[in-house]
Chain A
Amino acid sequence: MNPPGAHAWPLPGAGAGDGPLPGDRDAGPDFAETGTRGQTVLAARVIEKIAAQVASDESSAGGSSGGFLGIGNRADLAARPKASVELAGNIATLRVEVGMLYPVPLRQATEALRGRIRTRVTELTGVDVREVDIRISWLTTDTNGRRKLL
């Protein structure tokens, strides 16, 4: 049984049937053998960090940095947004709190961000991301906020 807040990667051969899945016709003995090696458990925190990193890397969304115990945070487009995940088996619901540039078309920007997070998190973790709730927590007019790494 998986620990709470964790997602176990579905391993072929690790289930009750102990055989390749119906769709895995090409799965040979090696594939079935991997199931006996163990189980990969993905903590919810990992999915949260991946989602936050995807949001930070591939859009104009940012997070907050600095401060202490949530006090004195400042908007930072270079920082990683805050993300949380709710897992139900292999299905995830993500909540992301982002800051964005102003003015941008917020509906379009968040829709693109949602699509990107869904695609990338699913690709990277194998978890089916059904919903991505986005909360815009701040807007900045300062375009120099994003740090450029040379």
Chain B
Amino acid sequence: MRQTAGTLNRIWLAVLGILFVAAGAALLLQSNGTLHALLNTARFWESVVTGDLHAFFAQPWVAAFLLLIGVILAVLGLLWIIAQIPRKNTAGAYRLHDDGSQGFTLCDPSVLAAAVESRINALPGVVSSAVLLRGTASAPDLSLRVTVNDRADVQDVIHRIQTSTLRELSYALEAPLQRSQLQIEISGRSQSTGTVVHSTGTVVY
């Protein structure tokens, strides 16, 4: 139901991996003298920096520059950590109007989600459900988490959701579902829909 930063992680891990592989390869080439032969760099036993480093780092702008670099890296790291928090990323209000000149038609996705939940909860064996809508009104994206009790026919529930619930949502939005995800959980709880069963019979006093 919640989205994680999988793509972001893959991108940044790939970037960092490439950087570290390149640095490691450069160090290996430098240590065995290949880099010196190719690019005429200093040999690994030669000192590259000459002069007094203490005097260089004693300059005030160097400390400020290093501090700035550190802050930038810290902020980037913090943002990356914050991005790991799973998010629902719910859609904004669905716009159901074609031409806004006559007026707007808006429907919050949570309203549709509540209606879909109501439909799913009425299916036999379903204990509870959670529905999340993303995307747009013309390309909706549906995530379902359905909890069924241990005596429910899971295949039947899936079949009913696919043939009934999803079609109803598509019919209501007048647009095909872009993507639908279904997660089934099993619970020991019993179904309690509160459905009133109308019956006829003879009342004996």
Q: Does A143 contact B (CB under 8 A)?
A: no
- Chain A 133-150 interface 0/1 with B at a Cβ cutoff of 8 Å (1 = within): 111111111000000000
Given the known interface contacts A139-B111, A141-B119, the answer about A106 and B102 at a Cβ–Cβ threshold of 8 Å is no
CB under 8 Å from chain A, chain B span 109-127: 111-112, 114-115, 118-119, 122
Number of interface residues of A (CB under 8 A): 24
Please state if B115 and A102 are interface contacts (CB–CB under 8 Å).
yes
Please state if A105 and B172 are interface contacts (CB–CB under 8 Å).
yes
Please state if A107 and B111 are interface contacts (CB–CB under 8 Å).
no
Please state if B103 and A106 are interface contacts (CB–CB under 8 Å).
no
Q: Identify which of B105, B106, B172 gathers the most chain A CB atoms within 10 Å of its CB.
A: B105
Q: Does B107 contact A (CB under 8 A)?
A: yes
State in angstroms the CA–CA spacing of A133 and B101 once bound together.
10
Interface of A with B (CB < 8 Å)?
93-94, 102-108, 110-111, 114, 118, 131-141
For A114, the chain B residues whose CB sits under 8 A away are: 102-103, 105
For B139, the chain A residues whose CB sits under 8 A away are: none
A–B pairs, 22, beta carbons within 8 Å? A102-B119, A102-B172, A103-B168, A105-B174, A106-B172, A106-B174, A107-B96, A107-B97, A107-B105, A110-B96, A132-B103, A133-B103, A133-B104, A133-B106, A134-B104, A134-B105, A135-B106, A136-B96, A136-B106, A136-B111, A140-B118, A141-B118
For A93, the chain B residues whose CB sits under 8 A away are: 103
State in angstroms the CA–CA spacing of A54 and B155 once bound together.
45
Please state if A108 and B174 are interface contacts (CB–CB under 8 Å).
yes
For A94, the chain B residues whose CB sits under 8 A away are: 103
Please state if A110 and B174 are interface contacts (CB–CB under 8 Å).
no
State in angstroms the CA–CA spacing of A94 and B103 once bound together.
9
A83: shortest Cβ distance to chain B, in Å?
12
Q: Does B46 contact A (CB under 8 A)?
A: no
Please state if A140 and B105 are interface contacts (CB–CB under 8 Å).
no
B126: shortest Cβ distance to chain A, in Å?
14
A107: shortest Cβ distance to chain B, in Å?
5
- Chain B 156-185 interface 0/1 with A at a Cβ cutoff of 8 Å (1 = within): 000000000000110111100000000000
Please state if A107 and B171 are interface contacts (CB–CB under 8 Å).
no
State in angstroms the CA–CA spacing of A132 and B119 once bound together.
30
State in angstroms the CA–CA spacing of A105 and B115 once bound together.
14
Q: Identify which of B111, B119, B171 gathers the most chain A CB atoms within 10 Å of its CB.
A: B111
For A140, the chain B residues whose CB sits under 8 A away are: 115, 118
Q: Does B98 contact A (CB under 8 A)?
A: yes
A129: shortest Cβ distance to chain B, in Å?
9
Please state if B172 and A104 are interface contacts (CB–CB under 8 Å).
yes
State in angstroms the CA–CA spacing of A94 and B98 once bound together.
18
State in angstroms the CA–CA spacing of A111 and B98 once bound together.
9
B104: shortest Cβ distance to chain A, in Å?
5
Please state if A106 and B104 are interface contacts (CB–CB under 8 Å).
no
For B169, the chain A residues whose CB sits under 8 A away are: 103
For B111, the chain A residues whose CB sits under 8 A away are: 136-139
4 closest Cβ contacts across the A-B interface? A139-B115, A136-B107, A131-B103, A103-B168
